Amino acid sequence: MANVLEVKDVYKHLGKREIIKGISFSVKEGEIFGFLGPNGAGKTTTIRMLVGLIAPNKGTISIMGHEIGKEREKALSSVGAVVENPELYTYLSGRENLMQIARIRKIPKGEVDKVVELVKLSDRINDKVKKYSLGMKQRLGLAAALLADPRLLILDEPTNGLDPTGIMEFREIVKHASKERNTAVFISSHILSEVQQLCDTVAFINDGKIQSVESITGGQIKNETETLVLVTREAKNCSEVLKQLDYVYEVSAEENVFTINAKEDSSPEIAATLVEKGIAIKEMYKKHSELEQRYMELVEGGKK
């Protein structure tokens, strides 16, 4: 499956403050990718870069092989987004809102009917938007984002303010849209349960850094990476060796205790390399955890 979105080594600072600190990830077609982290972790800044509102200071963002910095129009023509509260004309009906967009973008009228059905608004589409509940407005915003049949759908905290029924409906519609149209979906959230039940893959972000990217199957994390804890007396040498290994993605250390995020089942190679370099391992073990524990480990544990 082809990558629809590729983010490579992206940095962003606002003034002197570094907000995003070298993030990299990719989203494939038909994949629902969760971007999970607490408020202030850098999620909104990342989304603003993905939709071309602000530019990274370093690194590249490509959509369907087109880099936003160099081929902005081509890259963004493949994107549909629901960012915060969708901009809707409340004095018009739902259908009139969608028809306005269809006219501007030269989208056939038949597409409007298709997306209305997809987001389950057929029975209320001719009512004025001011009569809509928050959940219906979110679904109309989603319909607007899906009108041009985007290859990448970007959703920023899409269920904020929705009641449990609204959340469930929205989740099912997004799943259906992704699978039926083979659309890549990037969804930013701070709600664990939402990501767990909706996404195929989750990236944990905290303090502008991606702590880990992991797969979810049946609501459970399926690790393509593993977290190892390593204790050694030779911290400096150990750190230098670990950072040179391709299959080690992230290393953090507190005195002589290292937490290593590495490729799944790479612990034997890591141990062998360290021994070969003359670094004595006092203790080494693998951490096992589910999404909530991973979140606490990676995000809460990452707070200083």
Instruction: Say which CATH number the domain at 240 has.
Output: 3.30.70.980
Q: What is the pLDDT of residue 299?
A: 64
Cβ atoms of 243 and 276 within 8 Å: the answer is no
Q: What is the pLDDT of residues 69-85, one digit of tens each?
A: 999 999 998 999 887 66
Buried b / exposed e over 88-108, threshold 16 CB at 10 Å, is beeeebbbebbbeebeeeebe
Question: In sequence order, what are the beta bridge partners of 83?
Answer: 156
Q: What is the pLDDT of residue 294?
A: 64
CB atoms closer than 10 angstroms to residue 186: 26
Residues near 256 by beta carbon (within 8 Å), at least 6 away in sequence: 231, 232, 233, 235, 282
- pLDDT of 301 higher than 60: no
> 34 and 145: one domain?
yes
- pLDDT of 303 higher than 60: no
Is 0.75 surpassed by the pTM of this model?
A: no
Q: What is the pLDDT of residues 185-210, one digit of tens each?
A: 999 988 777 788 889 999 989 889 98
Q: What is the pLDDT of residue 134?
A: 85
Q: What is the pLDDT of residue 61?
A: 95
Question: In sequence order, what are the beta bridge partners of 1?
Answer: none
> 126 and 262: one domain?
no
**Tokens 């995020």, located at residue:** 261
> 151 and 243: one domain?
no
Q: What is the pLDDT of residue 304?
A: 37
117 is written with which tokens?
A: 């059905």
> 54 and 202: one domain?
yes
Q: What is the pLDDT of residues 266-299, one digit of tens each?
A: 888 888 898 888 888 888 877 655 566 666 666 6
Instruction: Say which CATH number the domain at 146 has.
Output: 3.40.50.300
The mean of the pLDDT values for the chain is 85
> 232 and 171: one domain?
no
Q: What is the pLDDT of residues 124-179, one digit of tens each?
A: 999 999 999 888 898 999 999 999 889 999 998 888 878 888 888 888 889 988 98
Report d(CA 227, CA 207) in Å as an integer. 19
> 14 and 55: one domain?
yes
Residues near 200 by beta carbon (within 8 Å), at least 6 away in sequence: 31, 32, 33, 215, 216, 217
> 237 and 205: one domain?
no
Domain boundary among 183, 217, 251: 217
> 159 and 138: one domain?
yes
Q: Quote the percentage of the chain above a pLDDT of 90.
A: 37
Q: What is the pLDDT of residues 218-262, one digit of tens each?
A: 655 655 677 788 888 888 888 888 888 888 888 888 888 888 888
> 262 and 148: one domain?
no
> 92 and 181: one domain?
yes
Cβ atoms of 56 and 42 within 8 Å: the answer is no
Q: Are strands 32-36 and 257-263 parallel, antiparallel or unpaired?
A: unpaired
Burial of 69 (0-12, 13-18, 19+ CB in 10 A): middle
Which residue range(s) make up the domain with 81? 3-217
Domain count, the chain: 2
Residues near 239 by beta carbon (within 8 Å), at least 6 away in sequence: 251, 253, 258
